[in-house]
Structure 1
C-alpha cells in the first residue's frame, strides 16, 4: 500500500483528498494544526476504509511546523509516495490594509512550506523512481490580485519548473488551480460569500476526482472544471492593464466583504 501525506487535511480540499485517497486504499499522513480534529479524521478514515492514518500536528507558518513535516517526508523507512501541499489561507483586506506580519505568514505557508516540503518529498521519490506531488494553487494565480494571487502564481511557476527538472525520473508534479470551493476557507478569513454567484462554486470531492485524473495524465497544471477553463481562456486573451481593473472590481464584488 502506498502512503500519501496531505497538509491542511482536516477541512475542505485537503479533507476531500483524504477521503478519495483512503477510498482508493492509500495509507495517509494527515497534517494540520488541530490535533483533536486530526485524530477524529484518522479514526473515521481507518474505520471506513481499513487504511492506516497517521497524525502529524504541525503549523506550517512556523519553522518547527515545516521542519517536522520535512522530517516525515525524508523518512526513508516509511516513504511517502504522494504529497498534497494543500495548507493555505486568505487575508481579508486590500494591500496595506493587511498587516505585514500576516502578509509574510502567507508567504511562509504558501511559498516557503511548499518549496521545502516538495524538495523533501521528491528527493526520496527520485531515488525510488516514482511518486507524485500536488501543489494546490488557485485560479487567482492567473490574475493580478494581491499577495494571495501572487503567492499562488509562485506555486504554479515553481511546480512547472520543478516538473521539467524532474522529467523522466518517474516523479510527477502538478499545480492544482481551483476556483471558489465550498470549504472553511472564506469563513476563517472573515470573508462574506453571499455575493458569489451559485454557478461559480465547485464541489471539493468532484474537484479532487478531476485533479487525480489530471495527475494520472501527466498534466503539470490542472484547472479542473469547464467553467473555470473557459474563464481562464478569456483571461489569457485580455490585455494586462484591462485585466487588472476588471479583477479589482470583480474582487470587490465577489470577494471579501
Structure 2
C-alpha cells in the first residue's frame, strides 16, 4: 500500500505548475506531472526524486482528445488521487476578430473541456475514498472583461464558476475544491504576455509564484473559502470589479499596462 499521497499537476513543465510540483513534493506528495514538453518534465522529475518524491512524467497535449485520454489513463492506472491541480493554460493578446480561430479553439479546449474531463477523471477515485482536493488555476481576469482578452477572461470565469458549483457538490463527500485567482505573477507565461504588449504592469501589481502557490495550499489545507485571491492588491481589485459599472472596469483594464 502506498504511504505517500498522490497529486497530479497539469502544465507542470513551467511557471506556477512547476512551483506547485516542488511545493507538493516538499509536503510529502508523489506526483504525476502533465505537460507537452517531455524533456522539461523529465528534468523536473529527476529534481523531485532528490527530495524523495516519486514523480512520473505524463507527456500530453491537453488540447487534443489523445492527450486527454493519456491523462485520464494515468489516473486510472494509479488507482488513486489525493490532489488535482488544473494549471495548464495560455493567454493571447489582440482583438477577437483578428485572432486565429484555431488558437481560440485551443484555448476553449484547454481551459474548459480539459478542466472538465480531467476533473471528472480525478473524482472517480476521490469519491469512494471520501477525501481529496481539486485546485483549478483561474485568474483575477475571471472577474473582469478586458479588451484584447475576451476568451481568456471568459474561460477563466468558467473555471471559477465551475469550481464554485463543484465545491457545493463535493463538500459533503469530503473533497475540497478551490479556484485559485492570481493576478500578474512572475512566470514565463506573464513575461511573454508583457513582452507581446511592449509594456509591463506596474511592479506593485506583480506576485511571486512561490507566494501564489503557498497561499493556495495553505487555504486549501485550512479548509478555507473556495475562491483564493493571493495579494492584498488583488483582493481590493476584485472587490472593485464586483461592484463597479462595466464601463468603469473597461477603462481600468485598458490602463493596466504602461509603455516602457
Q: 1:98 matched to which residue of 2?
A: 99
Q: Equivalent residue of 1:224, what SS?
A: coil
Q: Equivalent residue of 2:135, what SS?
A: strand
Q: 1:223 matched to which residue of 2?
A: 229
**Unaligned stretches of 5+ in structure 2?**
none
1:123 is displaced (CA, Å) by 2.2
**TM-score calculated relative to the size of structure 2:** 0.92
Q: Equivalent residue of 2:165, what SS?
A: helix
Q: Equivalent residue of 1:180, what SS?
A: coil
Judge conservation of contact 2:19–2:209 (CA < 8 Å) in 1. Answer: yes
Q: Residue 205 in 1 paired to residue 210 in 2? A: yes
1:73 is displaced (CA, Å) by 2.0
Aligned counterparts of 1:31 and 1:157: Cα–Cα separation in 2: 24
Aligned counterparts of 1:188 and 1:66: Cα–Cα separation in 2: 26
CA deviations over 1:125-167 (Å, ceiling 9, x no partner)? 0111110000000000000121100000000001110110122
1:93 is displaced (CA, Å) by 1.2
Q: 2:249 matched to which residue of 1?
A: 243
Indicate the RMSD between aligned Cα atoms, in angstroms.
1.7
Q: How does 1:135-150 map to 2 (within 5 A)?
A: 135-145=136-146, 146-150=150-154
Judge conservation of contact 1:34–1:57 (CA < 8 Å) in 2. Answer: yes
Q: 2:69 matched to which residue of 1?
A: 67
Judge conservation of contact 1:5–1:30 (CA < 8 Å) in 2. Answer: yes
Q: Residue 16 in 1 paired to residue 11 in 2? A: no
Judge conservation of contact 1:89–1:106 (CA < 8 Å) in 2. Answer: yes
Q: Equivalent residue of 1:29, what SS?
A: strand
- What number of residue pairs does the alignment pair up? 252
Q: Equivalent residue of 2:41, what SS?
A: helix
Q: Residue 180 in 1 paired to residue 184 in 2? A: yes
Judge conservation of contact 2:140–2:238 (CA < 8 Å) in 1. Answer: yes
Q: 2:158 matched to which residue of 1?
A: 154
Judge conservation of contact 1:186–1:192 (CA < 8 Å) in 2. Answer: no
Q: 1:3 matched to which residue of 2?
A: 6
Q: Equivalent residue of 2:66, what SS?
A: helix
Following TM superposition, the consecutive aligned residue runs of length 4 or more in structure 1 with deviations greater than 6 angstroms are none
CA deviations over 1:86-115 (Å, ceiling 9, x no partner)? 000011212212111111110000000000
Q: Equivalent residue of 2:173, what SS?
A: coil
Q: Residue 191 in 1 paired to residue 192 in 2? A: no
